Amino acid sequence: MIQPLNIFVLTGAGVSAESGLKTFRDADGLWTQNDLAELATPEGFAKNPTRVREFYSARRKILEIAAPNRAHFALARLEKEMTALGGSVFLCTQNVDDLHEKAGHKRAVHMHGELTVTRCTMCSGRWTDRGPLTAAQVCPECGTVGTTRPHVVWFGELPMFMDQIEQALEEADLFVAIGTSGSVYPAAGFVAEARALGISTCEINLSRSDNAHAFDRRLYGPATEKVAQWVGEVLGD
Ligand code: APR
C-alpha cells in the first residue's frame, strides 16, 4: 500500500537540459558563455536594457520549440497520483521555463520568476508575453512605453513565494532536489532546512552537486531516466 506523502520537489536547470534548454554552470551553460553581471542583474539592465531584452527574447525563442521531457512528465504524474492518494507534491522550481506546465503539472511555484511573463518597471504590472521584449512595448496596465523587463529574478533581487515555500518545507515528509547545482541561495539552503526539520532528503542529478553531502540519498544519472525511476518507486510501480 503506497503511503500518502507530502513531497517537496525543488527543480533546477538540469531537469530541462534534455529538452534542449541550456543550464547555467555546465560547460556550455548560460553563465559559462555569458557575463551574468551584464545579463542578470538590475545594474546590468540599467546599463544596457537593449542587450538584456535581446538575451531574454532569444531565450523565449528557444523555449517556443522546447518540449517537456520524461522527467517533467514523471513529476506531473507524481503530483496527480500522490494528490489522489491524499498526499501532496509542492513543486518549487528555480527554472523560468514553462516545461513543467507543458507536461501537465498543475502547480509549479516559480521562485525565480517566469520567462514567458513581461513586467512593467513603472507600475509592476505583468502579462504573459512569448514575443520579443522591446523598448517600443506599451504597458497594458499603465500605458507607459519603454518600461518592459522580463519577470525573472535577477541576482541581488528577492526570490518569489518564499512564505509559501517555507511553509511547504515545514509540512513536507520528503525533500527531493532535481537537476540543480546547489550553488545559488536561498534554494541551495533548503536541504539544510529540511534536515533540521528531520525530513528525509534525496538528490537526483547528473553528478554530485555542491551540497551533495547534505542529502540522505543520492541518485545520479540523466533526469529523464532517474526521475522516472524514482517516481515509479514512490508510486509503487
Ligand atoms: N539530468 C540531471 N541533471 C543534469 C542534467 C541532466 N540531463 N544536465 C545537467 N544536470 C545538472 C548539472 O550537473 C548541474 O548540477 O543540473 C545542474 C544545473 O546546475 P546549474 O546550471 O547551476 O543550474 P541551477 O542549479 O538551476 O541554477 C540555479 O542559478 O543562475 C541562477 O537563476 C539561475 O535558477 C538558476 C539558479
Residue in 22, 96, 100, 180 to alter for ligand 1 test, most ligand atoms within 8 A of Cβ: 180
Q: How many Cβ atoms from other residues are within 10 Å of residue 44's Cβ?
A: 19
The domain segmentation of the chain, as residue ranges, is: 1-21+68-112+159-237, 23-65+118-152
Query: Is the CB of 112 inside a 6 Å radius of any atom of ligand 1?
Result: yes
Regarding the domain with residue range 1-21+68-112+159-237, which homologous superfamily does it belong to in the CATH classification? TPP-binding domain (3.40.50.1220)
Please tell me the distance between residue 44's alpha carbon and the centre of ligand 1 in angstroms. 22
Which residue has cell 553563465?
31
DSSP string, 49-95: HHHHHHHHHHHHHHHHT----HHHHHHHHHHHHHHHTT-EEEEEE--
211 membership: H or E segment, kind and range: none
CATH number for region 23-65+118-152: 3.30.1600.10
Task: Please report, for residues 92, 144, 154, 163, 228, the alpha-carbon distance to residue 160 in angstroms, rounded to integers and kept in the order given.
Answer: 10, 25, 11, 9, 28
Spell out the per-residue pLDDT of the chain, length 237, in tens: 788 899 999 999 999 999 999 999 999 999 999 999 999 999 999 999 999 999 999 999 999 999 999 999 999 999 999 999 999 999 999 999 999 999 999 999 999 999 999 999 999 999 999 999 999 999 999 999 999 999 999 999 999 999 999 999 999 999 999 999 999 999 999 999 999 999 999 999 999 999 999 999 999 999 999 999 999 999 999
Please tell me the distance between residue 23's alpha carbon and the centre of ligand 1 in angstroms. 5
Alpha carbon nearest to ligand 1 atom 25, residue: 180
pTM of the full predicted structure? 0.98
The set of catalytic residues is 112
